[in-house]
Chain A
Amino acid sequence: MAERERQLTPPRGGVFVPRAQVMSADDVRRAVTRIAHEIVERNHGLDDVALVGLQTGGVLLARRLASALEDIEGTVVPLGTIDVAFYRDDIGIRPVLPEAVTDISFDLTGMTVVLVDDVLFTGRTVRAALNALTDYGRARAVQLAVMVDRGHRELPIRPDFVGKNLPTRRDEMVDVTPDGVSLGEMEPR
Chain B
Amino acid sequence: MTAPFQHLLTVADLGADGIAEVLRVTDSFVEVSERAIPRVPALRGKTVVSLFFEDSTRTRLSFETAAKRLSADTMTFSASTSSVKKGESLRDTVETITAMGVDAIVVRHRSAGVPWQVARWTDAAVINAGDGWHEHPTQALLDCYTIRQTRGGTGSDDVEKLFHGLRVAIVGDVAHSRVARSNVLALAALGAEVTLVAPPTLLPASLAGWPVAVSHDLDAVLPEVDVAYLLRIQQERSSEALLPSLREYTAGYGLTRDRARLLRPDAMVMHPGPMNRGVEIAAEVADLPCSVVTRQVANGVAVRMAVLFLLLGSRAALES
Contact = CB atoms under 8 A, between A and B. Distances in A.
B39 A135 contact: yes
Contacts of A97: 25, 310, 314
B99 interface: no
A43 B28 CA distance: 32
Interface of B: 25, 27-28, 31-32, 35-37, 39-43, 70, 154, 309-310, 312-318
A92 B27 contact: no
A85 interface: yes
Given A87-B41, A87-B42, A135-B37, A93 B27 contact: no
A86 B25 contact: no
Tell me the interface secondary structure of chain A in the complex. Answer: loop
Given A86-B40, A86-B41, A86-B42, A92 B28 contact: no
A125 interface: no
A20 interface: no
23 contacts: A85-B28, A86-B42, A86-B309, A87-B41, A87-B42, A91-B42, A92-B314, A92-B316, A92-B317, A96-B313, A96-B317, A97-B25, A97-B310, A97-B314, A98-B28, A101-B28, A102-B28, A102-B32, A135-B36, A135-B37, A135-B40, A136-B36, A137-B36
A94 interface: yes
Contacts, number: 57
Contacts of B39: 135
Contact of B314 (A91, A100, A132): A91
Nearest to A91: B313
B28 A131 contact: no
A95 interface: yes
B200 to A, nearest CB: 45
A28 B90 CA distance: 63
Contact of A98 (B25, B70, B312, B318): B25
Nearest to A98: B28
Given A95-B314, A101-B27, 19 more contacts: A85-B28, A86-B28, A86-B32, A86-B40, A86-B41, A86-B42, A91-B43, A91-B314, A92-B313, A95-B317, A96-B314, A97-B310, A98-B25, A100-B28, A101-B31, A132-B40, A135-B39, A136-B35, A136-B36
A91 B314 CA distance: 6
A103 B28 CA distance: 10
Contacts of B318: 95
A131 B41 CA distance: 9
Contacts of B317: 92-96
B233 to A, nearest CB: 38
A141 B80 CA distance: 53
A113 to B, nearest CB: 16
B1 to A, nearest CB: 9
A111 B32 CA distance: 21
Contacts of B25: 97-98
A135 B35 contact: yes
7 closest cross-chain pairs (CB), A and B: A86-B40, A98-B28, A86-B42, A95-B314, A92-B316, A95-B317, A94-B317
A91 B46 CA distance: 11
Nearest to A131: B41
B14 to A, nearest CB: 15
Interface in A87-118: 87, 91-98, 100-103
A95 B310 CA distance: 9
A100 B154 CA distance: 10
A94 B312 CA distance: 12
A182 to B, nearest CB: 27
Which residue, of A85, A91, A96, A97, has the highest number of chain B Cβ atoms within 10 A? Answer: A91
Given A86-B40, A86-B41, A135-B39, A93 B28 contact: no
A87 B313 contact: no
Interface in A62-91: 83, 85-87, 91
